[in-house]
Amino acid sequence: MKVPWGLALRHIFEHWFRNLLTVLAVGVAVFLFCFLVSLIVTLDDQVEEASQDRVIVQSAVSLFVTLPLDYLAKIAAVPGVGDVTKWQWFGAYFQNQSEGFFAQFGVDPDPFFRMYERDIRIIEGPNGETAPAAREAVHLAMLEEKRGALIGQALAKKFGWKVGEAIPLTCTLFPRTDGGAWDFVVLGIYEKQRANVDDSTLFFRFDYLEDTLRNGGATGPLGSGTFFVQVAPDHETAEVIETIDALFTNGPQRTKTSTEAAFQASFVSMLGNLPLFLGTIGGAVVFAVFFSVVNTMMISGRQRIRESGILKALGFPNLTLGALIVYESVLLSSLGGLVGIGLAFGAARGVRQKMANFFPNFAVGPETMAIGFGIAAGIGVIAGVTPMVHLMRTKPTDAMRSEG
């Protein structure tokens, strides 16, 4: 006999409010699952896609202790070092500190462009050039214009900045002695090619900062927070790291050198065991919603006992009755899963904008969405099993006498 699937839909609409709450509960659970898992995946991607042949030299005391500028020449002379650039956190903001804070770094243009050739793609140059010509055009323009800056695509969209536009930034770490703002000129816009790069960053010439500090135009520590080193292809990264740290064992500042991947991982570790924490929260929410769906389907099963007796009397097999209740359960949970996935996907852009300094590459990937939907459908199947077994075991005569 043909399965009367329409009965399941009738039950859903007949008790629409209860079922709507169930759908929303599953939706919230799937949304939280996708959101939390995406945070973990984002952090993992930043570590996994970081370069293993690019190392970062920092102070062994703290990342906030600057290294002497003469360390650059000494590091460059180490066997196996291909390129090295200063990399100084600037710590400025645009217009207001709460909304206009973003990352800025002072670098040496020549080695920077060589080291990040595969990581960033410059999409617009100073005279309207596009990739690939824009890279060389921006490089040359930055060598000519000391105030020149390269900004990420996301940063340009956030503030509406265009190539050629002057940007005033207020810096708390290196305040100008006249009380004014630092002036930068946008010479190019880049888009990231790997997850280890943030496209909400501004890169500028380090010597603009250095010369201003030496001339008394600003105050602050004269040095470089870190040095980024590209290891030559024919050398072992571990050996280069060991040699660099041994070089500065006796100071004046001892160094701690690590691969870019290890450096990224250290930031994740600062957050504690974040994967376990987020996973526990997500698991608890899904577990609670599971019982909510089970309760809904148990109520639905009791309400259709008399109906099941009639169907059995008409000759419908037990398997058909079981399929109907499971179908209803899966349909409700799947709808909730789609709602949750839609919410997570829609919220991803807002998360990137609001939490750009912490999770600039946040995205809800297809795999995460598929797992979220699978969990929702799985909850529906399991939640439908208990009432299914009860309906299949109930005799037609007992079902007909039921008041359900």
Each residue's pLDDT tens digit, 202-245: 999 999 999 999 999 999 999 999 999 999 988 898 999 999 99
CA dist 130 and 155 (Å) reads: 18
- Report pLDDT for 324: 79
Average pLDDT over residues 119-140: 93
The Cα 261–Cα 285 span in angstroms is 32
In the prediction, which pLDDT does 360 show? 62
More confident residue, 17 or 286: 17
- The set of residues, in sequence order, having a beta carbon less than 8 Å from that of 228 and lying 6+ positions away, is 54, 55, 56, 57, 84, 85, 87, 107, 112, 115, 260
Nearest alpha-carbon partner for 93 in 49, 147, 26, 155: 155
Q: How far is CA 380 from CA 37, 292, 374, in A?
A: 21, 11, 10
Distance CA 30, CA 36 (A): 10
pLDDT band at 292 (very low <50, low <70, confident <90, very high): confident
Kindly tell me if the per-residue pLDDT of 339 is higher than 80.
yes
- Is residue 379 very low, low, confident or very high in pLDDT (cuts 50, 70, 90)? confident
Mean pLDDT of 339-363: 75
The rounded percent of the chain whose pLDDT value lies above 90 is 42
Residues contacting 243, CB < 8 A, separation 6+: 78, 79, 80
Residue 188, pLDDT above cutoff 90: yes
Q: Would you state the pLDDT for residue 274?
A: 61
CA 149-151-157 angle, to 5 degrees, is 140
Q: Please report which confidence band the pLDDT of residue 164 belongs to, taking 50, 70 and 90 as the band edges.
A: very high
The mean pLDDT value for 53-78 works out to 92
- Residue 173 has a pLDDT of 93
pTM above 0.75, yes or no: no
CA–CA gap between residue 343 and residue 350 (Å, rounded): 11
Indicate the pLDDT class of residue 49, thresholds 50, 70 and 90. low
Check residue 359 and give its pLDDT. Answer: 63
Average pLDDT estimate for 294-322: 68
Closest CA to 112 of 211, 213, 206, 242: 206
Query: What pLDDT band is residue 278 in, cutting at 50, 70 and 90?
Result: low
Two tokens, residue 169:
């930034």
d(CA 356, CA 198): 8
